[in-house]
Amino acid sequence: PFNASTGIAYRLDKDENILLEIYSANGQKVRTLFEGLASAGFHSIEWNGTDERGTAVASGVYFCHLSINQSPFFSSRKVILIK
């Protein structure tokens, strides 16, 4: 659970094109946090609980989806926003 913001950490073995997005519990995309080439190594991206327009989202369950374009890898992590 988080209140104001949360860090989303991931590690890449090599440079990859990735897509990191936030989805609501009902499957609607809330925000794209990163899309493009990310270098190999450890990364952390902060999500401050806002949508694409910068509007604060409601308390609830959200999912962070990480896709890597050059492989079948897909990862999802649940986060809970509590205001």
Of 14, 17, 79, give the one whose Cα is nearest residue 48. 79
Instruction: Give pTM, 2 decimals.
Output: 0.89
Does residue 56 contact residue 50 with C-beta atoms inside 8 Å? yes
Residue type, 59: S
Does residue 69 contact residue 17 with C-beta atoms inside 8 Å? yes
Query: What does the pLDDT profile of the chain (83 residues) look like in tens digits?
Result: 788 889 999 999 999 999 999 999 999 999 999 999 999 999 999 999 999 999 999 999 999 999 998 677 789 999 999 98
